[in-house]
C-alpha cells in the first residue's frame, strides 16, 4: 500500500504553541530571544548540556516576564523533553550531526519539529526524516531563513507573476569567511567542541548547501512541478584553514599542521528534470566578501543580489535598472511577507528581519492549521546535497543522481 505523502500537510490548529528548545548555544539563544516577541507561544522547556546556557535562557524568560520553563541539562535528556505531552513543537539548534536523531524521535513522540540547517548530513538521514514525517503526519520544517530574505522574496514574487519569463538557470551560495570561528573558544564565537573543524578534517563537498539552494528551489518550484535530477561537484585544494592557523598560532604549530579534507571552494552544478540548471558554491575559508549569489536567469529578465543588487528586464532595454526606476520595481513587487511581517520586525528593532519572518510564519501556520512554507521534502532535498556533492568530488566529479523524496508526487502538485 502506498504511504500517503505530506505535501500540503495540515494539522489541527494550536491556539498557543508550546515549545521546547534543544541547544541554547550561539544560534539557539538568539532564537529564544526572537520568540519573546511573538504572540501565541509559550516556552515550556529548555535543553542544553551546558548549565550556563540554561541559566542564560532562564534570564531571558524572566526579563520578558515569561513563565519558568522545565530544564533538561543531562546527557540524553532531550528524549525526556520530546516525550513531554505538554510540548507541541521541538525547536532544534544543536550541531549538524545531531539534528536528525532528535527530529526523528520528536516526530515519533507526536511533536512537530523545526530544526536548524542542514536538516540531515546523509541521504539515509534525509529518508529517515521523510519516512517519519509521513508515518506520524507531523510537520518537519528546516529553519532555512534565507528563503525569507527581502530580495529573495521579491524575486519569488516576480518569478510567480511571470515578470522574468521562463526560469532556466539560477545560482546560490554560502560564501562567508569563518576562519576565526574554526579556532576560537565557544564564548568568543567559536563552535562547541570545535565540531565544524573536526567535520572539515573528515569530509569534502558542500556541507552547508541550503542557504544558497533554498531560495533557488522556491523560484524553480522544486517538488512542485519540477525536481532536481542529478549533480556534479568539484572542490579546490584546501589551504585556507592551515594558512590561517599558521598566521594565528605560528607556522610550526599543531593547528597549522592539521590536514583538512574540505576544499577551500566547492562548486556544484545541479540539473533538473525540466532542464534547468543550478550553480551552488560553498566557501568559508578564504577572504572573499560575503555572498549568497541569489542569481536567477529567465527568458525575459535577470536578477541578482550579490555583489550588487541588479535587475535587468527586456522591456526596459539592455541596461540594468538603476536609481528610482530600480527602487520603484522593487517596491512594486515587494512580497507581502516583507511588506507586513518584515515591517513589524523593523518596528520591533529585530536584528535580522528574515529570521523574524521565518519564526512568525511557522507559528502563524501552526496556530491556524495551515501548511508550512517549507516541508519535510524541502528539508530532505536541500540537505541531501551534502552527501551527494562529497560523493561526486571523491569519484572525480562524476554525475550523481538526486533521490526523489516525494516518490513521484512532485508531478501532481
What pLDDT does residue 3 have? 78
The arithmetic mean of pLDDT across residues 262-280, rounded, is 98
Average pLDDT, the chain: 96
What pLDDT does residue 103 have? 98
What pLDDT does residue 1 have? 56
- Enclosing H/E stretch for 329: helix 323-332
Residue spans of the domains in the chain: they are 17-144, 147-340+376-411
- Enclosing H/E stretch for 106: helix 99-108
The arithmetic mean of pLDDT across residues 220-242, rounded, is 96
Measured at the alpha carbon of residue 247, what is the angle toward residues 244 and 249, in degrees to the nearest 5? 100
Q: How confident is the model at residue 22 (pLDDT cuts 50, 70, 90)?
A: very high
What pLDDT does residue 265 have? 98
What pLDDT does residue 254 have? 84
Rounded to whole angstroms, the Cα distance separating 322 from 123 reads 43
Q: Which CATH architecture has domain 17-144?
A: 3-Layer(aba) Sandwich (3.40)
Rounded to whole angstroms, the Cα distance separating 243 from 263 reads 13
Share of the chain above pLDDT 70, in %: 100
Indicate the Cα dihedral angle 275, 4, 6, 409, nearest 10°.
Answer: 10
38-48 residue pLDDT tens:
999 999 999 99
Per DSSP, what are the bridge partners of residue 70? 45
Q: How confident is the model at residue 349 (pLDDT cuts 50, 70, 90)?
A: very high
Q: What residue has cell string 534570564? A: 59
- Joined together, the cell numbers standing for residue 364 give 502563524
- Joined together, the cell numbers standing for residue 317 give 532595454
Q: What residue has cell string 567535520? A: 199
143-176 residue pLDDT tens:
999 999 999 999 999 999 999 999 999 999 999 9
CATH topology of domain 147-340+376-411: Dihydrodipicolinate Reductase; domain 2 (3.30.360)
Q: How confident is the model at residue 253 (pLDDT cuts 50, 70, 90)?
A: confident
Contacts of 239 (CB under 8 A, 6+ apart): 264
Contacts of 324 (CB under 8 A, 6+ apart): none
What DSSP string describes 355-400?
Answer: HHHHHHHHHHHHHHTPPPSS-HHHHHHHHTHHHHHHHHHHTTS--E
Q: Is the peptide bond before 307 cis (omega within 30 degrees of 0)?
A: yes
Rounded to whole angstroms, the Cα distance separating 268 from 266 reads 7
Q: What backbone phi and psi angles, to 5 degrees, belong to 26? A: -55, -50
What pLDDT does residue 325 have? 95
Amino acid at each position: 500500500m502506498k504511504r500517503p505523502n505530506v505535501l500540503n500537510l495540515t494539522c489541527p490548529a494550536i491556539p498557543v504553541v508550546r515549545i521546547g528548545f534543544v541547544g541554547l548555544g550561539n544560534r539557539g539563544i538568539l532564537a529564544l530571544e526572537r520568540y519573546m516577541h511573538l504572540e501565541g507561544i509559550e516556552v515550556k522547556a529548555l535543553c542544553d548540556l551546558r548549565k550556563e546556557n540554561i541559566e542564560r535562557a532562564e534570564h531571558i524568560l524572566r526579563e520578558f516576564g515569561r513563565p519558568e520553563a522545565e530544564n533538561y541539562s543531562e546527557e540524553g535528556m532531550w528524549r525526556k523533553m520530546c516525550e513531554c505531552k505538554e510540548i507541541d513543537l521541538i525547536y532544534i539548534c544543536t550541531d549538524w550531526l545531531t539534528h536528525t536523531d532528535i527530529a526523528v524521535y520528536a516526530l515519533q513522540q507526536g511533536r512537530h519539529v523545526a530544526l536548524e540547517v542542514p536538516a540531515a548530513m546523509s541521504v539515509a538521514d534525509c529518508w529517515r526524516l521523510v519516512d517519519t514525517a509521513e508515518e506520524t503526519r507531523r510537520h518537519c520544517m528546516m529553519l532555512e531563513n534565507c528563503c525569507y530574505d527581502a530580495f529573495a522574496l521579491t524575486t519569488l514574487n516576480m518569478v510567480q507573476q511571470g515578470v522574468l519569463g521562463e526560469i532556466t538557470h539560477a545560482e546560490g551560495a554560502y560564501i562567508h569567511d569563518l576562519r576565526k570561528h574554526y579556532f576560537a573558544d565557544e564564548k568568543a564565537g567559536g563552535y562547541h567542541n570545535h565540531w565544524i573543524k573536526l567535520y572539515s578534517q573528515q569530509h569534502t563537498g558542500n556541507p552547508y548547501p541550503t542557504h544558497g539552494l533554498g531560495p533557488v528551489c522556491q523560484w524553480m518550484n522544486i517538488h512542485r512541478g519540477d525536481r532536481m535530477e542529478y549533480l556534479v561537484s568539484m572542490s579546490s585544494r584546501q589551504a585556507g584553514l592551515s594558512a590561517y592557523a599558521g598566521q594565528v598560532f605560528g607556522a610550526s604549530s599543531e593547528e597549522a599542521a592539521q590536514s583538512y579534507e574540505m576544499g577551500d571552494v566547492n562548486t556544484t552544478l545541479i540539473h533538473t528534470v525540466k532542464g534547468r540548471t543550478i550553480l551552488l558554491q560553498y566557501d568559508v575559508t578564504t577572504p572573499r566578501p560575503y555572498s549568497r549569489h541569489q542569481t536567477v536567469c529567465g527568458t525575459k529578465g535577470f536578477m541578482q543580489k550579490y555583489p550588487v543588487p541588479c535587475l535587468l528586464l527586456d522591456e526596459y532595454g539592455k541596461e540594468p535598472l538603476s536609481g528610482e526606476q530600480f527602487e520603484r520595481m522593487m517596491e512594486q513587487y515587494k512580497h507581502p511577507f516583507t511588506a507586513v511581517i518584515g515591517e513589524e520586525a523593523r518596528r520591533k528593532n529585530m536584528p535580522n528581519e528574515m529570521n523574524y519572518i521565518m519564526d512568525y510564519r511557522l507559528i502563524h501556520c501552526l496556530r491556524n492549521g495551515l501548511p508550512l512554507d517549507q516541508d519535510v521534502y524541502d528539508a530532505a532535498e536541500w540537505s541531501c546535497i551534502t552527501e551527494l556533492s562529497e560523493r561526486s568530488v571523491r569519484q572525480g566529479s562524476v554525475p550523481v543522481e538526486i533521490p526523489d523524496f516525494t516518490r513521484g508526487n512532485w508531478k501532481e502538485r
